[in-house]
Amino acid sequence: MKEIRVGLIGTGIIAHQHMEMYRDIPGVKVVAACDLQEEKLNAFCDKYGIEHRYLDYRRLLERDDLCSVDVCLHNNLHAPISVDVMAAGKNCYCEKPMAGSYADAAAMKRAAEHYKVKFHIQLGMLYGGEVIAAKKLIDEGYLGKIYHTRSYGYRRRGRPYVDGYGEKEFDSSQWAGHGALYDMGVYHISQLLYLLGCPPVDRVSGRVY
Ligand SMILES: NC(=O)c1ccc[n+]([C@@H]2O[C@H](COP(=O)([O-])OP(=O)(O)OC[C@H]3O[C@@H](n4cnc5c(N)ncnc54)[C@H](O)[C@@H]3O)[C@@H](O)[C@H]2O)c1
């Protein structure tokens, strides 16, 4: 089997979780990583045995051996850097939420089509056992015709930065902060849309408290 060589941009909290996952996928190797913070980058690469280190993601994208690049950056950087990844001819896997705005997300989709590369957003909740079971029940008609869905999410502790860990950019409006709807709501919205087969939606309402 041909080795799938991956580059990773952003070596923060979530990048560590990605590394744990890559470790369990046969044939995949993360060979290069990038972060603006040199000390953090080096600690990350030392921990996972990543040889090639970059402070500028554009240098990482110049490599010709990468099949895919994983974007683990703050929300508002997803669009510009994912588009650059795809323009460099690499497949792209990007963290959620897809982007900081609808226009940015649409540009990312257009880039994937234009550069003919694979593009995926991390929405791991789509692949859980409960979702697979619910999808099967719905598809087989056990729940009848579905016209209304509702989803709840709770997070009272473990909020990045607010609860004393992670970078301040996680919650800054310049780099990322779009509140709970973007941070956690995207998991719920994508789950509901997927379960319903992505129909046109008449009305959405939500509440955060
Ligand atoms: N932390 C979580 O629990 C979690 C869970 C799921 C998804 N996510 C998503 O992952 C993304 C990243 O979140 P995080 O918690 O890992 O943030 P983080 O602050 O821990 O890490 C982001 C890293 O990106 C680096 N960076 C910023 N700009 C850069 C640039 N131009 N080039 C290279 N590196 C750059 C920063 O130095 C930092 O190390 C967010 O979109 C978030 O929504 C996070």
The 3-state DSSP class for residue 53 equals strand
Q: What is the pTM of this model?
A: 0.95
Q: Provide the 8-state DSSP code for 3.
A: -
CA 95 to centroid of ligand 1, rounded, Å: 9
Q: Say how far apart CA 16 and CA 163 lie, in whole Å.
A: 19
167 lines ligand 1 (CB under 6 A): yes
Domains and CATH numbers, the chain: 4-121 (3.40.50.720), 125-195 (no CATH)
In the sheet that holds 4-9, the strands lie side by side as 52-54, 28-34, 4-9, 68-71, 91-94, 119-121
pLDDT digits (tens, 9 = 90+) for 103-121: 999 999 999 999 999 999 9
pLDDT digits (tens, 9 = 90+) for 154-205: 888 888 888 888 888 888 888 887 888 888 899 999 999 999 999 998 888 8
Pocket test for ligand 1, best of 34, 35, 70 (most atoms within 8 A of CB): 35
